[in-house]
Structure 1
Amino acid sequence: MTTIEVFAPAKVNLTLHVTGQRADGYHALDSLVVFAGIGDIVGVSRAEEPSLTVGGPMAAGVPTDRGNLVMKAARLMDVAADIHLEKHLPAAAGLGGGSSDAAATVSALARLTGQPLPDAGDLLCLGADVPVCLQQSTARMRGVGEDVTPLPGLPELHAVLVNPGLPVMTQQVFAGLADRTNPPMPDPLPEFTSTAALIEWLAGMRNDLEAPAIAAQPVINQVFDTLKVTPGCLLTRMSGSGGTCFGLYGDAETASSAAGRLQEAYPSWWVVATVLNAAN
């Protein structure tokens, strides 16, 4: 039996500007999105009846019924498949785990059946992050997720991702947003000739969801304070609607050392040193 496996990388929002709210309630965003070297793995094979199994270190609590986004992705593709999801990313963490899993499922089923990939409008029914997650490459994401512009050639970034183990609900974070009309990133974006130049520019950008996420889960502030004082940390920010925060470092060795310190000091936290694959 043919099985297709697709990597579902963590999505990291280097910036996340909330620029408005539409009449239907959805928020307009302007975000610089990159993908990490860590993620989940989705495997699919043909079946008489659809099914989902979940394994991996983050499998606990992941639903295996029709409500899981990978099952919704299979229904969108109209394919009955056995799906195995190997979870390495924490849930409700601002890393687009569910959306990346759904995008990987769509990609795997397209390869398995020879079907074309759905367009962005169809993918949005699975979630705002699914169109950009299907591309798995650095991009500027605008609108409600349907406007995805690839940004090849950005410098590679060395990062430490930290999640304190408490889920942060996106709906609650958006509900706590004080201002829903904020400035977007500049257009066009600058050309970055070095990692240092990119990090310096990022320092002037924002994640507009940080304040309401901290209000929902104050431990995020502790994560920020802890990351900031690790040797060599150049910038800290939250990804998505939280609660994963990241620190950026000048090289892999410095990032790995910082991750080791954090893992030792906070063994209950999820801590990973990784490359944000901005070069693809």
Structure 2
Amino acid sequence: MADAGGPGHAPGFGPGFAPAKVNLTLHVTAQRADGLHELDSLVAFADIGDRLELAAAGRPLLSVTGPMAEGVPFDESNLVLRAAEWMGESAAFTLEKHLPAAAGIGGGSSDAAAGLRLLAERSGRPVPPGSEVLGADVPVCLHARAMRMRGIGERLAPVNLPVLPALLVNPRVAVPTGAVFAGLSSKTHPPMPEVIPEFDAVRDAVGWIARQRNDLEAPAIEIAPVIGEVLDRLAVLPGALLARMSGSGATCFALFEGVDQAKAAERAIRAARPAWWSVATRLF
């Protein structure tokens, strides 16, 4: 994380807030000999997410509550507990889960990053470098602000983006990340341009983002065709400037010029597909 500065947290929120991560772009540029994929991704964070609290305990413990708690592991497989073990700290965590799991918006990684921030705040010790061993998205989630993420998640650089009104939609289908990467027809794609420009307005930023890609979108649709339906519905919403999938799916997003447009789009999607998870938000 040498080129990213110190970890912070989502604007206006405390260190225990675990915001949704949205890959505005995701270029798969190579596959390493160890099987890991090199990425070039523009990442932003939403003002919606999970919340994590901690209390003193002799060993790491986790309880999970909230509307998305069902199915979330609370044993040592959970990244929050793995993060505490990696940092050499103990606490009893309570995770209030609002983000769908296995959804391409970094829920588990953002939860782990929130745990690391809380433990660092309590102990007075900084989060040590190397958090990518917990997962490729953990380092960027530690910062919880717009970043360019390269390599396997360890090379980060801040990006200045205007606040982007957005609608996030997940059809409540879990898409296995490994299967999506395995479905790529090529593991070598061009990166984003070397320089990300300064943007004067939302339309400028969205126009540039639209010229980039998410290389995982096509293989994810092959696995879960409903993602194509989500994208089609988002693309024709009034005021939608861009519709794209985040991460390895199945969550997709539409970008708008105004917050009111995003909220109207949320109402439209909820009326048409009430079983889907949909929420209007702002990306930072």
Task: Figure out how many residues of one structure are paired with residues of the other and give that number.
Answer: 271
- For 1:80 and 1:252, the matched residues in 2 are separated by 40
Paired amino acid for 2:85:
R
Q: Which amino acid is 1:262 matched to?
A: I
| Alignment partners' CA distance in 1, 2:212 and 2:59 | 47
Alignment of 1:31-42 (within 5 A): 31-42=41-52
Task: Name which of structure 1's ranges 223-232 and 266-275 shifts more when overlaid on structure 2.
Answer: 223-232
Superposed CA deviations along residues 77-133 of structure 1, whole A, max 9, x for unmatched, are 1112101111000001000000000010001011111112111x2x11110000000
Partners of 1:250 and 1:11 lie apart in 2 by 20
- From 87, 97, 103, give the equivalent of 1:93: 103
Partner of 2:27: 17
Q: Give the match for residue 64 of structure 2.
A: 54
- 1-side partners of 2:59 and 2:19: how far apart? 27
2:15–2:117 CA contact under 8 A, matched in 1: no
- The 3-state SS of whatever aligns with 1:242 is coil
The answer to whether the 8 Å contact 1:5/1:44 transfers is: no
* 2:233 maps to 1:233: no
How do 1:23-172 and structure 2 match up within 5 A? 23-119=33-129, 121=130, 123-151=131-159, 153-172=160-179
Q: Which amino acid aligns with 2:116?
A: V
- Percent identity over the alignment is 57
> Structure 2: which amino acid aligns with 1:134?
L
1:205 aligns to what?
212
CA deviations 1:154-188 (Å, max 9, x no partner) are 11110000000010110010010111100000011
Q: How high is the TM-score relative to the length of structure 2? A: 0.94
Unaligned runs of 5+ in 2: 1-13
Query: What is the CA-CA distance between 1:5 and the residue it aligns to?
Result: 6.1
Aligned to 2:230: 223
Q: Does 1:265 align with 2:280?
A: no
Q: Which residue of 1 aligns with 2:7?
A: none
Q: CA–CA distance in 2 between the matches of 1:107 and 1:259?
A: 32
Over the aligned positions, Cα root-mean-square deviation in angstroms equals: 1.0
Superposed displacement of residue 49, structure 1:
2.6
SS of residue paired to 1:199: helix
User: Normalization by structure 1: what TM-score?
Assistant: 0.95
